[in-house]
Amino acid sequence: MSLPTQRDAAGQLRALGWSKYFADQATSAALSKTPPVRITQVHRNTLHIQGVDLDMIIPGLHGVTVGDWLLFDADTPRNSQLLSRKSLIKRRAPGHDRKEQLIAANLDTAFVVTSCNNDFSLARLERYVAMAHEAGVTPVIILSKIDLTTEASDFAAQAQSISPQLSVVCLDARSPEAIELLRPWCQAGQTVAFLGSSGVGKSTLTNSLAGNEAIATQDVRASDDKGRHTTTGRQLHILPSGCAVLDTPGMREIQLTDVSVGLEETFADLHALKQNCRFNDCAHKTEPGCAVQAAVASGEVDVPRLQRWLKLVAEDAENTKFLANRKLRDRAKNKLEKSVTKYNSKK
Ligand SMILES: Nc1nc2c(ncn2[C@@H]2O[C@H](COP(=O)(O)OP(=O)(O)OP(=O)(O)O)[C@@H](O)[C@H]2O)c(=O)[nH]1
Ligand SMILES: [Mg+2]
Ligand SMILES: [Zn+2]
């Protein structure tokens, strides 16, 4: 194997999403001893990593996710160092243990995909947008399947009601125009992800950007437009154009945790009003001097939107508290286990 030329190496790293932000975290000596690699897939016990002339599977590491950068220690992979993240998207996992689940690291743009059909839900879009804002990732709403409806502009107007600053793009995911419409966010060196329910066209869009049909897609159920959960794992695809694209499996549920800042940004109008309520702990229901209710009375605030906001704020507070308690419990348990081990070893 011939060694890559400097220029080659720089080009390959850039296509993987490497930037000054990461380069600044290591000395050049460290970078040549432990080369930077990006995690493109996380399996139960292994990680798929890609770097300059490097594409391999290594044993799993704790607390990492797709999109993370490592300084790769080839002799002892488990000593590889995780670089500080530019952004991190996480949610509270569904199911009983309700753990925090890391979804993706170091994204620049989150394309939140929904179709112009029964999949559309403003409340769900708001969740995704709040999650992206919290993570420091630019959210872009994509409305797919415009070829199957005559009401695309109605769907778009609803999505735009979340915020006038939000980009909303309507497209047919299978068409060549889709690539043109997404190009502003998909430049070389960028990392983008497709998020959304099953069957909305995330893999179709990834294929369109890649210019091939490498990823499997499957039609949705005609009765209710629900997808068939075709994609089962998150995978970062490094495209020849130099953009890194994360295709994800349809998420049934996104429970918010630790997104108070994201909610403030997503509901900036309501957040601004809230500052004028008479009481700091105003619940914006029947309290005297509530600026939010006053805005509702004057028709300035849309009631369903207010209700969705209150619901998300309550959910975030509850999940954040639950996870904080859980972390405390886990820490206490670890401490106890350690002291028991110590005690036993003394015996
Ligand atoms: N007509 C039309 N069909 C589309 C469009 N986008 C996706 N499809 C079709 O919808 C079906 C589902 O698309 P996928 O790309 O597999 O959806 P997905 O979001 O990756 O779904 P999961 O992997 O299950 O999460 C496929 O049959 C696609 O061809 C579109 O804009 N217009
Ligand atoms: Mg898919
Ligand atoms: Zn109030």
206 lines ligand 1 (CB under 6 A): no
- 117-121 long-range Cβ contacts below 8 angstroms, 24+ apart: 117/145, 117/148, 117/149, 117/225, 118/224, 118/225, 118/226, 119/196, 119/197, 119/199, 119/200, 119/225, 119/226, 120/155, 120/158
Q: Count CB neighbours of 324 within 10 A.
A: 12
Q: Is position 254 within any domain?
A: no
Tell which of 66, 82, 98 closes a domain.
Answer: 82
Tell which of 224, 247, 270 closes a domain.
Answer: 247
DSSP annotation of 231: -
Asked if residue 113 and residue 69 are part of one domain, the reply reads no
Asked if residue 305 and residue 231 are part of one domain, the reply reads no
Asked if residue 183 and residue 56 are part of one domain, the reply reads no
Give the structural domain span for 328. Answer: 260-343
Asked if residue 99 and residue 54 are part of one domain, the reply reads no
234 lines ligand 1 (CB under 6 A): no
Asked if residue 161 and residue 17 are part of one domain, the reply reads no
Nearest to 162 by CA among 112, 200, 198: 112
Q: Is position 295 within any domain?
A: yes
Q: Is 87 annotated as a binding residue?
A: no
pLDDT number for residue 346: 59
Q: How far is the CA of 328 from the centre of ligand 2 (A)?
A: 37
Cβ within 8 Å of residue 284, ≥6 positions away? 274, 277, 290, 292, 293, 306, 310
Q: Is 219 annotated as a binding residue?
A: no
Give pLDDT tens digits along the chain (347 positions): 455 566 699 999 999 999 999 999 999 999 999 999 999 999 999 999 999 999 999 999 999 999 999 999 999 999 999 999 999 999 887 776 677 889 999 999 999 999 999 989 999 999 999 999 999 999 999 999 999 999 999 999 999 999 989 999 999 999 999 999 999 999 999 999 999 999 999 999 999 999 888 888 999 988 888 998 999 899 999 999 999 999 999 987 788 777 888 899 999 999 999 999 999 999 999 999 999 999 999 999 999 999 999 999 988 888 877 777 777 777 776 666 666 656 666 55
* 235, β-bridge pairs: 247
pLDDT number for residue 339: 62
CATH number of domain containing 287: 1.10.40.50
Q: How far is the CA of 227 from the centre of ligand 2 (A)?
A: 9
147 lines ligand 1 (CB under 6 A): yes
CATH number of domain containing 170: 3.40.50.300
Asked if residue 162 and residue 230 are part of one domain, the reply reads yes
Nearest to 199 by CA among 114, 297, 107: 114
Q: Is 200 annotated as a binding residue?
A: yes
Asked if residue 222 and residue 281 are part of one domain, the reply reads no
Asked if residue 268 and residue 158 are part of one domain, the reply reads no
Q: Is position 252 within any domain?
A: no
Nearest to 247 by CA among 90, 54, 106, 111: 111
Asked if residue 75 and residue 15 are part of one domain, the reply reads yes
* Gap between the Cα atoms of 209 and 110, Å rounded: 15
Asked if residue 264 and residue 241 are part of one domain, the reply reads no
Q: Is position 75 within any domain?
A: yes
Q: How far is the CA of 313 from the centre of ligand 3 (A)?
A: 13
Q: Count CB neighbours of 227 within 10 A.
A: 23
Q: Is 116 annotated as a binding residue?
A: no
* Gap between the Cα atoms of 63 and 98, Å rounded: 16
Strand ranges across the sheet with 81-82: 54-59, 46-51, 36-42, 69-71, 81-82
Tell which of 247, 278, 311 closes a domain.
Answer: 247
Q: Is 198 annotated as a binding residue?
A: yes
3-state class (DSSP) for residue 91 = strand
173 lines ligand 1 (CB under 6 A): yes
Pocket test for ligand 1, best of 117, 175, 179, 204 (most atoms within 8 A of CB): 204
* Gap between the Cα atoms of 235 and 69, Å rounded: 15
Position in ligand 1 atom list of the atom nearest CA 227: 24
Asked if residue 157 and residue 75 are part of one domain, the reply reads no
Q: Do residues 101 and 92 lie in contact, with contact meaning Cβ atoms separated by under 8 Å?
A: yes
pLDDT number for residue 347: 56
Q: Count CB neighbours of 181 within 10 A.
A: 15
* 57, β-bridge pairs: 48
CA 68 to mean position of chain CA atoms: 13
pLDDT number for residue 342: 61
* Gap between the Cα atoms of 101 and 63, Å rounded: 10
208 lines ligand 1 (CB under 6 A): no
Question: Which tokens is 65 given?
Answer: 């996710």
* Gap between the Cα atoms of 341 and 19, Å rounded: 44
Question: Which tokens is 55 given?
Answer: 């594409």
DSSP annotation of 151: -
Asked if residue 217 and residue 68 are part of one domain, the reply reads no
Q: How far is the CA of 258 from the centre of ligand 3 (A)?
A: 22
Number of folded domains that form the chain:
3
* Gap between the Cα atoms of 206 and 135, Å rounded: 22
